[in-house]
Structure 1
Amino acid sequence: MRVAIFASGNGTNFEILAQQFLNQQIPGQLSLLFCDHPQAPVIKRAERLGIAWETFTVKECGNKVAYEQRLVQLLKDYKIDFIILAGYLRVIGSPILDYYPKRIINLHPAYLPEYPGLHSIERALADKKTQTGVTIHYIDAGLDSGPIITQKRVPILPNDTLTTLEARVHACEHQLYPQVVKQLMTAFEKKEQI
């Protein structure tokens, strides 16, 4: 299995997954990091780990359709079998969804269907909720609406700030996402060998 990770920002989830692929704790080959922000810190992480990376923007391509068509061609060039979204802040469109049905997963920092979209942690805190969570799900054409693979609750404590709550949500992500990716990659590899 040849895997691509899509990320847009700092890349802590990318680095944890990449290290586990490199150490063969997760089966398959991490073949590509794609980033839609040329200055994002995640690119430096990929360079440090020796992972091939590519970056381009919607603006460079002219529009979203051209961007996604270029992205599909890039994924074909790298012979990618499976896509992992790790802080990729764009909605995936039909060119990619059509080419990778049930082969794109996402990590979302909320207990879906609560707080889909951006700023999920901030919104849960502002609404004075007592808990939030982490969801790993397949991608579909909607906004964080694809079939859920697994979820875990994260408590919101009375004295939480955005910083403390984000740290706890990210700690949950860093533990849960590699476990799920390992299970999925193991299952896909077994199917491929049959």
Structure 2
Amino acid sequence: MSRARVGILISGRGSNMAALVEAAAAPDYPAEIVGVLSNRAAAPGLAYAAERGIATASLAQSKFPSRDMFEDTMTQVLESWEVDFVCLAGFMRILGADFVNRWAGRLVNIHPSLLPLYRGLDTHARALADGAGEHGCTVHFVTPGLDEGPAILQARVPVLAGDTAETLAARVLVEEHRIYPQALRLLATGQARFTP
């Protein structure tokens, strides 16, 4: 079986990256994680990946004269790994349209809300402030608009009495770790497609 080659972009501990790496360790999983790239050299997720024999790279955007040059270099790294798909897993930079369009249909993200609700940051606190009865997460294709791309999978969790942003985030994260590998499986097998 030819497995899809996947690169992951992270900024921190990369818990969703770890969920994808663990899923891809199964021999019947249709994708393999071939590289992890971070915009922070100190990201703990890089050590996790390196310990598992996965190629790693770090690029600091501040070292580049422009975002375009930074993103062009990211593309060069991803292309050197011959990736078929790129998964964002806590990559805390907004990507430019050129990069997004270069990887259109092959670039996915996991977002901690039931999109189109709560695009952007602080999703858990915003859901609580609105008195939402349920919350969750979405794996979606990345398009130039922030958190606007078509959804691949969603998972819902109830908002409980007494929830804080932290307790709600912890329950949502469990679901993130469950559905991201499922969504990548759909992508790698061609069951999820997006042609912009």
Partners of 1:123 and 1:40 lie apart in 2 by 27
Out of 134, 139, 142, the residue aligned to residue 136 of structure 1 is: 139
- 1:64-83 counterparts in 2 under 5 A? 64-83=67-86
Whose helix proportion is higher, 1 or 2?
A: 1
The corresponding residue for 2:169 is 166
Out of 131, 147, 152, the residue aligned to residue 150 of structure 2 is: 147
Q: Which amino acid aligns with 1:10?
A: R
SS of the aligned residue for 2:98 comes to helix
Deviation of the 1:34 alpha carbon = 0.8
Partners of 2:153 and 2:170 lie apart in 1 by 20
The corresponding residue for 1:61 is 64
The corresponding residue for 1:192 is none
Give ranges in structure 1 of 5+ residues lacking alignment. Answer: 189-194
2:9 matches 1:6: yes
Change (3 A) 1:46 1:110: same
Q: Is the 8 A contact 2:96 2:144 kept in 1?
A: yes
Residue correspondences, number = 188
Q: Which amino acid aligns with 1:93?
A: G
* Further displaced range: 39-48 or 88-97: 88-97
The corresponding residue for 1:87 is 90
Query: What TM-score results when the alignment is normalised by the length of structure 2?
Result: 0.89
Cα distance per residue 1:116-139 (max 9 Å; x no partner): 111212221233322211111100
Out of 19, 29, 37, the residue aligned to residue 16 of structure 1 is: 19
Cα distance per residue 1:131-176 (max 9 Å; x no partner): 2111111000010001111222211101112222111000111111
Partners of 2:29 and 2:103 lie apart in 1 by 20
2:189 matches 1:186: yes
SS of the aligned residue for 2:33 comes to strand
Q: Aligned residues: percent identity?
A: 36
Partners of 2:74 and 2:137 lie apart in 1 by 27
Q: Is the 8 A contact 1:72 1:95 kept in 2?
A: no
* Further displaced range: 38-47 or 103-112: 38-47
Q: Is the 8 A contact 1:156 1:165 kept in 2?
A: yes
Moved over 4 A (4+): none
